[in-house]
Structure 1
Amino acid sequence: MLELNPDELLNLTISFLLPFFRIGAFFMALPLFGSRLVNARARVAFSFLVAVIVTPVIDIPDYDPVSPAYIVLIAEQLVIGFVMGFVITILFQLFSLAGQLAAMKAGLGFAMSNDPANGISVATLGQYYLSMVALAFLGTDGHLVMIEYLAESFNYWPIGGGFESQKYWQLVLLGSWMFEKALLIVMPLAIAVLVINLSFGIVAKASPQLNIFALGFPVIMLFSLFFFWVMLEDFLDIYLLFFREVTDWMKGTWGIQLNG
């Protein structure tokens, strides 16, 4: 008959809670899993399952659960889990920002749609890019890769390692990368629209009697839609390139890498 010592059961519960808080915060911040589309109970159950798998293979120091220091440890795990999930949020928002910038360049900024995941109204092209990157993220097993990085984070950020501001400041600097890549995606469309506007301006100057502005708006819109259709063929390659840059950043800046 299986007998459980109360002290052993208490130690097992304590050792499980700290990884569970980090993993739970990770899934709260991870796109798709942390959105309104996923039930909170399902998210907690999945975090519980991952914590059960991860806990036996990591080192957890002994701490008194009835002490202020344990509360600090819980806060530490919540922050680290949120930071790990926020890295992929930046990747998703990169494409959302690119879609919004492209919509303004194409004259489609007025076309808004409701985002059911976040409960806000965004540009339709931004929502389109978000849907595409979500499918690419799941289709290429990006969520499984990030769970592996989460498990490896217990080696880079061990429990009780404390708060090092430099690690979190590096995440803030990643925001500049997001704006850079979003502008890089939109740059071909922006240059093409600029050339079209200059061409219509020359025609309007040469023939003032023509109503160029009434003709220019639908032409630019049709050209922009054609551009999005052409870009659709290379969307997966663009996503994989940026996802690889994110993982390389985690390896080079944080030192987190996978064995395989």
Structure 2
Amino acid sequence: MIALPPELLQQLGGGLWQLFAVFLRVSALVSLLPAFGERSIPVRVKLGLSVVFTLIILPAIRPPDFAPGFLQIVRLVGTEVLVGMALGMGLRLFVLALQTAGSVAAQSTSLSQLLGGAAADPVPAMGYLLTLAGLALATLLGLHIQAARFLINSYMLFPMGTVPAAPDLSQWGVQQISHSFSLAFALAMPFVIASLIYNLALGVVNRAMPQLMVAFVGAPAITFAGLFLLFAGTPLILSVWADDLFAFINNPVGPAR
């Protein structure tokens, strides 16, 4: 049996620890990554994606000075999982923005009950269509490449084993959640404006002709208007959403976009 030199064993051990540390952050982020971390994706596929991203990112980062020990291992596991989940949650909020925009648009145009259970999450049909189209667009625009670069740059923001400051992390999280809901409302703004005009016109007609059943006349009109806005406005909505998503990937700690 061939005995390996102690120096080689030490280098192999350090490489394995670095691989393990990178895998912790990558797997936490991939579990929340849009398109790749969806609930409909099998766990084995997510695990394979995490391994592939780890092998891509490992040569691009600087190996840390790490002495294996129980407390060091516990600290490393907690820190890397926390950073990966925080960054992944920032990306996942963009999917939530599309779902919220679809829900607001569906409620505004009386289409909230149509195919409401088609997705893994209980969202209306508009939210499901916008989310599916947005994820497909992001994947076609190279989300996997951007995600790999995002993970590599994350080690510049949060070096391996460095615990993020709690006040900064909480402030950043609140800022991202606030931006997610403001983005959702901005994307759904055409449907809200159409609903406002429809209800104002319906009120005027009802005031002028109380005996007319305006709801039966107006319901098909608002349904058609909602479907037309969905058909005409989806390219612009997804374009704005994709630009915002990739702006976050390029600078996750920058000011609100």
Which amino acid in structure 2 is aligned with residue 161 of structure 1? T
Please point out which of 199, 206, 217 is paired with 1:215: 217
Instruction: Classify 1:72/1:56 alpha carbon distance in 2 versus 1 (closer, same or farther; 3 Å).
Output: same
Instruction: Classify 1:52/1:207 alpha carbon distance in 2 versus 1 (closer, same or farther; 3 Å).
Output: closer
Checking the alignment, whether the CA contact within 8 Å between 1:113 and 1:121 is kept in structure 2 is yes
Which amino acid in structure 1 is aligned with residue 47 of structure 2? V
Give CA-to-partner distance per residue, 1:107-161, whole Å, 9 cap, x none: 1122243355xx3322111111111111111011123112201111112100122
Following the alignment from structure 1 to structure 2, what is the Cα–Cα distance between the partners of residues 239 and 86? 16
Please point out which of 105, 108, 115 is paired with 1:105: 108
Equivalence map 1:132-211=2 (5 Å): 132-169=133-170, 170-211=172-213
Which amino acid in structure 2 is aligned with residue 168 of structure 1? L
Equivalence map 1:1-260=2 (5 Å): 5-114=8-117, 116=119, 119-169=120-170, 170-247=172-249, 249-250=251-252, 252=254
Q: Which 4+ runs in 1 deviate beyond 6 A?
A: none
Following the alignment from structure 1 to structure 2, what is the Cα–Cα distance between the partners of residues 199 and 111? 25
Following the alignment from structure 1 to structure 2, what is the Cα–Cα distance between the partners of residues 175 and 245? 16
Q: CA deviation at 1:2?
A: 11
Q: CA deviation at 1:241?
A: 3.0
Which amino acid in structure 2 is aligned with residue 149 of structure 1? F
TM-score under structure 2 normalisation? 0.88
Please give the root-mean-square deviation of Cα atoms over the aligned residues, in Å.
Answer: 2.3
Following the alignment from structure 1 to structure 2, what is the Cα–Cα distance between the partners of residues 182 and 130? 12
Instruction: Classify 1:6/1:146 alpha carbon distance in 2 versus 1 (closer, same or farther; 3 Å).
Output: same
Checking the alignment, whether the CA contact within 8 Å between 1:100 and 1:125 is kept in structure 2 is yes
Following the alignment from structure 2 to structure 1, what is the Cα–Cα distance between the partners of residues 118 and 13? 44
Which amino acid in structure 2 is aligned with residue 89 of structure 1? R
Give the unaligned 5+ runs of structure 1: 255-260
State the percentage of identical aligned residues.
22
Aligned residue for 1:69, secondary structure, equals helix
Checking the alignment, whether the CA contact within 8 Å between 2:18 and 2:63 is kept in structure 1 is yes
